Every structure is written in C-alpha cells, then in structure tokens.
C-alpha cells in the first residue's frame, strides 16, 4: 500500500508529472441523495499498467472487481464531504490518480414564507420585508430561492455559504413596496436545488405555503374610541370615523388640502340665558332669550329650537358658512304674561347631517331657565287670599316668606289670609330653596274697597306660582 495524501492540489501535482493517462470513473460524476445507494466503476489504466500498484481509496462502502477495473458501492450514503480516489503507479515511478466528482444532496426539509417584524394590518405604499426560511438543505450553494407574487417571479436569490457541504438552515429576504394591486395577492417562495446534468431531472423543488396579503385602504372606515382633533390649517390628517357609541365625535370627514377641517361634531355645550337681564320680569315687556352653542361644526347643519315647557317656540338656523367648529348665539324675543310665571325655558340643538350622517342626529339640550314674572294682584277687601308658592324639587324645597310690616313670619308653602284688609297691601316675597338652588317669588297685593265691587259676596282668590328644581 502506498501512502496517499488526499489533497486536491497535491494529487493534481502528482498526477500532472509523467502520467500519460489518469484513472477513469464511469459515470464521470456522481450526484447522490443523502441516504441513497451509490455505485461507480474505476478503470485504472488502458496501456501503461506495467506496475501492479493501484487501488481505490474509499472512506465508506466496499470495492469489488477484477484486474484494473474496480467497482465502488455503498448501500446508504450517509457521510458528508467524503472523497473517493482511484490511483496507480506507472513505470516511471509516478503516482497517477483521479478524484471522483461526488456530491451529496438533500432537498429542503421545509420551506416557509412570512413577513419580517410585522403583524397586524398592512397599508398601501409601505415597504415590507418578506422572508423565506429554508431548512436542512445541502449543498446550499446549489440552492436558488425565488419569490413569487401570484405567478410572477419577483427575484432569484442565492446563498453566500459557498463552502458548506452539510445541511444548513438559511433565510432569504426580499423587500416589497405594497401597492393597491397587492390587495388579495398571494406570495410564496420556491427553493430549487440545481445540481447540474448529473443531478436529478427535473431538479428538486420545494414550495412554501401561500401568504395572502390584505391591505387596509387608508380611507377605509375604522372604529375608534377616542379622537384627538387638531383644528389647525396645517392639519392634513385623514380621518373618517364610523359612529361609535363611546365616541364623543359622531362623524368626521376627510381633511383635504383645500379644506382644513370638515369634522362634524355636536356642540360641546349648550346654555340658555336672558340677554342683558337677570331676576324677575314684568308682565307685557319684551325680553330676549339667548341660546349659546359652543364648538359645533358644521354650524350650517345645526337647528336650534327654543321651548317653553314642552311647546316649541321657534326654530333657528345659522347663516355662517364656517366649516370649522364655532361658538354661536341664537336669540328669541319673548313677551311674558302672568301665565308664564314659573314656566321653564330651554333650548335644544340638533345636528342634521343628511343621509351620510348618523341615523339619530346628535341632540344637545340646555339647562332649564325658570321665568319669574312680576305682576300686581288686585283683591277686594274682605276676600280670602291663598298665595300658593309650593314648588317641586328634589330634595324637597323649604319656604321662607318676607311679609309686609307687622305680620308674623311664616314658613309654609301656601300663605292664607282669611279676610283681606287694607293693612294686607304690599309685597309678599316667598323664597323657595333646596340644595339645587333658590328661587324668589314676589306677590304684589293691591286691595280695593268693597264699594268698587261689581258683584257682592265673599270670594276666594288663589294665586299660584310653581317652580321646578331638578338636578
């Protein structure tokens, strides 16, 4: 046996000198799947075989044959990176040898596709990275990975592991820019082992599962719980919001370059008051009620209704063209009569947004404003007078009366004078209060002599004034 160094360079060096021919393998190249059987024949030499020193180096398997024809066989090839060498020594003392062109392959055990660092919704015009993971493939330098969108190949990639013979796991990535056409597209990747003419035909191919891409259009309606509105000219945020119970905003529309803001939102607050007036009113005089609406948009979709009790007194609308939220005041003139004493005034706002708007237009109402109307009660001497100040409230209100001079104090809801005399003339003030508030009612009593009476006999005059306290 000759000591033989299995090194390609050294072997070539030895073979190159004085060797007129080299051992020949049949087939010339062997491509074997890991674990499969293999067999190759080596014809050591044709004419220059004067010496009888020859052989076939084989780390695995066995060699059979006769003379200078040797057959190497292996039942299961399960060694990576082995060399098989056939050699002889010629008459000139040179060693002539050939190495078998042997490659062992393993098709990918699995191929899978995914997005790198991304879960959840995907949007148009963004860059995403696709990743194709190939497991246990050898030799990786013969591998080509192709990404596909539908049937269109997007790019071929190869490994950088140029030397590795054993199976490896490798990941290949591809950046994609999402476009509208990607919505519903299917991506996949394919791993192909191209092992040359001696390899299996067609080459082994393993394809990943399909990855469905679903893009959210940015204009698509989204449910939100809270919206922060930046009502500035430079704000170009696109907001389209579906009505959501928990949202304070009922509808927003897109904000384009030309329209800084066209959000639609019900008034932040609505309140009612008198213009330039506080306290009691006098009969048959004109007063102005005002309904103040804050931060509403668009104000031209707003209808304001004034109410006295349950009766609508007038509908009003704005003349403003403003699209941004505004504060606006709506007014109504009233001329109260004594029947209006104790009545409650309030206003209601409704944002009517048409068919695209919420089914039930957002309604915001003001607090209730009680009307206190001052008038003079004329009563005949000797008649009975009931001043009824009883009011409704929660908690139950208490009453305090301020009476004309020389009268005892009183704290009931109804003040009764059995027989009215001239000494009873004057101002009776009933103060009704609870924790919610205090209302003061004045009764002004004018007593007429019996002489002026058209019909004789005693009568009872009842004056009633009722206020409401609610919270």
Ligand X SMILES: *[C@@H]1O[C@H](CO)[C@@H](O)[C@H](O)[C@H]1NC(C)=O
Backbone region of residue 237 per phi and psi (left: phi > 0; alpha: psi in -120 to 50; beta: other values): beta
- Site for ligand X, residues 233 to 252, rule: CB under 6 A: 238
- What is the DSSP annotation of 290-323? EEEEEEEBSGGGEEEEEEETTEEEEEEE------
Q: Looking at 83, 106, 135, 271, which residue binds ligand X (CB under 6 A)? A: 135
Q: Is 390 in the site for ligand X (CB under 6 A)?
A: yes
Return the exposure string of 398-411: e unless at least 16 CB atoms fall within 10 Å of the residue's CB, then b.
Answer: ebebebeeeeeebe
Q: Is 303 in the site for ligand X (CB under 6 A)?
A: no
Binding piece for ligand X, criterion CB under 6 A, among 16-24, 100-108, 167-175, 220-228: 167-175
- Site for ligand X, residues 190 to 219, rule: CB under 6 A: 212, 219
Q: Is 292 in the site for ligand X (CB under 6 A)?
A: no
- Site for ligand X, residues 170 to 189, rule: CB under 6 A: 172, 175, 177
The minimum distance between CB 327 and ligand X, in angstroms, equals 4
Q: Is 342 in the site for ligand X (CB under 6 A)?
A: no
**Contact predicate 349/364, CB 8 Å:** yes
**Contact predicate 459/383, CB 8 Å:** yes
Token pair recorded at residue 269:
């607050």
Q: Looking at 275, 312, 376, 436, which residue binds ligand X (CB under 6 A)? A: 275
For residue 312, report the phi and psi dihedrals to the nearest 5 degrees: -70, 135
The minimum distance between CB 35 and ligand X, in angstroms, equals 16
Gap between the Cα atoms of 21 and 365, Å rounded:
108
- Site for ligand X, residues 104 to 133, rule: CB under 6 A: 116-117, 127, 129
Q: Looking at 157, 260, 369, 377, which residue binds ligand X (CB under 6 A)? A: 157
Q: Is 388 in the site for ligand X (CB under 6 A)?
A: yes
Distance of alpha carbon 400 from the chain centroid: 59
Binding piece for ligand X, criterion CB under 6 A, among 48-56, 78-86, 303-311, 382-390: 382-390
Distance of alpha carbon 355 from the chain centroid: 25
**Contact predicate 57/87, CB 8 Å:** yes
Nearest Cα neighbor of 415 from 382, 441, 449 is 441
Nearest Cα neighbor of 101 from 174, 13, 170, 32 is 32
Q: Is 159 in the site for ligand X (CB under 6 A)?
A: yes
Cβ distance to ligand X smaller for residue 310 or 406:
310
Q: Is 466 in the site for ligand X (CB under 6 A)?
A: yes
Gap between the Cα atoms of 74 and 61, Å rounded:
4
List Cβ neighbours of 423 (8 Å cut-off, separation of 6 or more): 404, 406
What is the per-residue binding string for ligand X in 79-108, x denoting contact by CB under 6 A? ------------------------------
Cβ distance to ligand X smaller for residue 175 or 470:
175
Q: Kindly determine how many residues on this chain lie close enough to bind ligand X according to the rule CB under 6 A.
A: 34
Q: Is 325 in the site for ligand X (CB under 6 A)?
A: yes
The minimum distance between CB 162 and ligand X, in angstroms, equals 10
Binding piece for ligand X, criterion CB under 6 A, among 6-14, 164-172, 301-309, 435-443: 164-172
For residue 175, report the phi and psi dihedrals to the nearest 5 degrees: -90, 140
The minimum distance between CB 275 and ligand X, in angstroms, equals 4
Binding piece for ligand X, criterion CB under 6 A, among 7-15, 32-40, 169-177, 446-454: 169-177
What is the per-residue binding string for ligand X in 18-57, x denoting contact by CB under 6 A? ----------------------------------------
Cβ distance to ligand X smaller for residue 76 or 166:
166
Gap between the Cα atoms of 269 and 411, Å rounded:
38
Nearest Cα neighbor of 229 from 243, 239, 242, 244 is 239
Token pair recorded at residue 454:
């058209």
- Which residue carries 């509808």 as its tokens? 251
- Site for ligand X, residues 408 to 447, rule: CB under 6 A: 414
**Contact predicate 357/349, CB 8 Å:** no
Cβ distance to ligand X smaller for residue 2 or 222:
222
**Contact predicate 15/22, CB 8 Å:** yes
Cβ distance to ligand X smaller for residue 88 or 345:
345
Q: Looking at 107, 139, 167, 204, which residue binds ligand X (CB under 6 A)? A: 167
**3-state secondary structure (DSSP) of residue 272:** strand
**Contact predicate 251/224, CB 8 Å:** no
- Interface residues with ligand X (CB under 6 A) are 116-117, 127, 129, 135-136, 157, 159-160, 167-169, 172, 175, 177, 212, 219, 238, 254, 256, 275-276, 294-295, 325-327, 386, 388, 390, 414, 462, 464, 466
């Amino acid at each position: 046996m000759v000591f033989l160094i299995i090194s390609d360079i050294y072997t070539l060096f030895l073979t190159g000198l004085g060797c007129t021919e080299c051992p020949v393998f049949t087939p010339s190249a062997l491509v074997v799947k890991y674990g499969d059987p293999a067999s190759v024949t080596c014809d050591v030499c044709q004419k220059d075989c004067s010496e009888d020193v020859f052989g076939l180096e084989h780390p695995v398997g066995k060699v059979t044959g006769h003379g200078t024809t040797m057959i190497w066989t292996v039942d299961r090839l399960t060694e990576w990176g082995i060399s098989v060498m056939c050699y002889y020594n010629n008459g000139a003392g040179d060693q002539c040898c050939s190495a078998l062109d042997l490659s062992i392959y393993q098709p990918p055990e699995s191929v899978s596709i995914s997005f790198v660092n991304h879960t959840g919704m995907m949007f148009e015009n963004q860059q995403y990275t696709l990743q194709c993971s190939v497991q246990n493939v050898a030799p990786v330098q013969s591998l080509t990975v192709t990404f596909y969108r539908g049937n269109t190949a997007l790019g071929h990639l190869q490994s950088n592991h140029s030397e590795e013979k054993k199976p490896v796991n490798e990941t290949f990535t591809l950046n994609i820019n999402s476009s509208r056409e990607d919505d519903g597209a299917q991506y996949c990747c394919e791993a192909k082992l191209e092992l040359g003419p001696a390899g299996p035909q067609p080459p082994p191919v393993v394809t990943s599962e399909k990855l469905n891409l679903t893009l959210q259009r940015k204009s698509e309606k989204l449910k939100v719980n809270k919206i922060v509105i930046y009502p500035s000219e430079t704000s170009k945020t696109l907001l389209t919001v579906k009505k959501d119970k928990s949202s304070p905003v009922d509808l927003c529309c897109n904000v384009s370059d030309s329209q800084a803001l066209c959000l639609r939102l019900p008034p932040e607050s609505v309140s009612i008051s008198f213009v330039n007036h506080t306290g009691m009113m006098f009969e048959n005089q004109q007063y102005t009620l005002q309904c103040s609406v804050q931060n509403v948009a668009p104000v031209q979709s707003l209808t304001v209704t004034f109410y006295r009790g349950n009766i609508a007194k007038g509908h009003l609308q704005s003349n403003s063209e403003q699209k941004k939220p505004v504060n606006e005041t709506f007014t109504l003139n009233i001329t109260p009569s004594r029947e209006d004493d104790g009545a409650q005034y309030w206003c209601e706002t409704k944002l009517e947004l048409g068919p695209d708007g919420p089914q039930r237009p957002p309604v915001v109402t003001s607090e209730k404003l009680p009307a206190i109307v001052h008038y003079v009660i004329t009563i005949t001497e000797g008649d009975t007078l009931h001043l009824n100040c009883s009011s409704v409230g929660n908690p139950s209100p208490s009453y305090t009366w301020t009476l004309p001079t020389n009268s005892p104090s009183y704290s009931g809801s109804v003040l009764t004078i059995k027989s009215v005399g001239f000494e009873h003339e004057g101002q009776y003030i009933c103060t009704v209060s609870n924790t919610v508030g205090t209302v003061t009612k004045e009764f002004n009593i004018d007593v007429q002599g019996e002489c002026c009476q058209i019909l004789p006999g005693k009568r009872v005059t009842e004056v009633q004034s009722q206020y409401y306290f609610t919270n």
